[in-house]
Structure 1
Amino acid sequence: MTNTPAIAEVYLRPGDYHFGGPNTRIRTLLGSCVSLVLWHPKARLGGMCHFMLPTRGRPTAQLDGRYGDEAMRLLRAAADSSGTCFSEYQVRVFGGGNMFPTRLPGNRQHIGLQNIAMARFLVAEQGLICHGEHVGGIGHRNLIFDIWSGHLALKQSPPLSISGPSGVSST
């Protein structure tokens, strides 16, 4: 009988991030929020963040993962402390959906699109190459990242219908 290491499951809520080693699976549920997923194929290290807004707009001493620019800095610090070279990480971007397409049909810059733009900016700013993305559209995404293999599982679902006081769906 072999001793297989236990898999640690980490669930990210908005504003959370996690960086870890090979026996880790990270999950999250995204709507208009965005996740940056980092993976180092040789070291079998990786991380994910779940940010809600592109930026806070004012620097503070305490970084907050709810903001894209600060979430990237938190991930970068974790990767740097592992002794790996940040430029060797593969990055992928997920999320940024329009959660209210019937309420904001003409809004070309809903918060999801702003988050996507920030994620792309941050990837370029860090000198990383985006190895894939699944962004925009409508609805939410369930995302699972297995650090030991770099495997990502994604399921996109339409937004839930919103019922008014009479119980009639508005979508």
Structure 2
Amino acid sequence: MIYPNAQSMRLGVVMRKAPGVTRWAKWSWKAIAVLPGAAEADWKLLRSDGEAAEYHAATKDLWLYVSDTEAYAHEFGTQSPSVYIVLRPTKGSSDGQLDVVHVTVSPYEAQDYCDSGEEIVEKVAMPPAVYAWVRDFIEAYHVEEPFVKRRRNKQRVDRKDDGIGDRRISQATDVYRAPVSHPREAAE
């Protein structure tokens, strides 16, 4: 798909598999880095150290959109700008392996994935090459929008009380009338 004024970069995602720290999770998976301009990969072993191993799990496109420059600028205002990696448990995996679903530098988009509860979102440090690319994109397309305070309508709607309640709901009588007691309760 081609979007006007949008840019993309291929990012390889590095996942680390290590022994779990509890008896309920035999293995622990964590996104630890991204590789700018990486070639296609499907769980290519990069390094192993005893039981721990690092894999180039997948390569995904990181897209930057003009409409999201505010989010990118917000991310640059943090202490350490990051790339967010969206992960989902692999179906049928016995060791808790995770599939790489998406990569983004928008904290707003990452929050949307967190809200669903179906994905795991991890952040890794933004490499210098990605930092420079995103910074150039922000400088080229971001337009700071001034804050405009909303003005209230001066019309007073709380002074009129004609006793009919909500006009959209048809009612035969006054909705503010006193309730009528049940005949049995009145006799007692």
TM-score by length of 2: 0.26
Structure whose CA Rg is larger: 2
